[in-house]
Amino acid sequence: MLRRFSLAVFFSAFGLRLLVAWKARFFRNFQTDEMVRIALSLVKYHEYGNPYLIRTGPTAHEMPIYLLFLSLIYFVFHTGSRAEAVKIILACAATALRCELLPPFCGRQVSDGASGSSPESWRRCRAIITIGLVLKTLSPAVSDISLPK
């Protein structure tokens, strides 16, 4: 039962995040922030550098592991819409996987007696997971909303 629930959480989170990304037009409007520029510099110049619009040389602005992963995406898929789509899909999958790992943890907490082994504590745990899933899924869309002045 827990495995099916975990898979349902994963696919729900993945589908919901993809839907939010699609509706927020992340697949059409590509942003070249510092991380993207450093990853592209890693592909083109083989250095962690150039976080700005001009070539500035080496930098330590961002953590290198994510940039290495990002540069691998740009190396394989180049800099077009295919690379951006792969980046967005992988980000959605990673976040959905994080949401999927919550039910086994919560189930272990319930079965170990940490939060009680009653059906009520399991329902409470599922409600917390569901609320967390909704908030995590909507966070990119909420952060992109600009408030009127």
Model confidence over 93-148: pLDDT tens digits? 888 887 777 666 666 655 555 545 566 666 767 776 676 666 655 554 444 433 33
Tell me the two tokens of residue 60.
């330590």
In the predicted model, what is the mean pLDDT of residues 24-29?
Answer: 82
Comparing C-alpha atoms, which of 15, 78, 67, 1 is closest to residue 38?
67
Q: Angle 141-104-12 (CA atoms, 0-180°, nearest 5)?
A: 35
The Cα-based distances of 95 to 13, 17, 80, 110, 142 in angstroms read 8, 8, 23, 24, 16
The alpha-carbon radius of gyration of the chain (Å, integer) is 19
User: What pTM, to 2 d.p., does this model score?
Assistant: 0.64
48-107, pLDDT tens digit by residue? 888 887 888 888 777 788 888 889 999 999 888 898 899 889 888 888 887 777 666 666
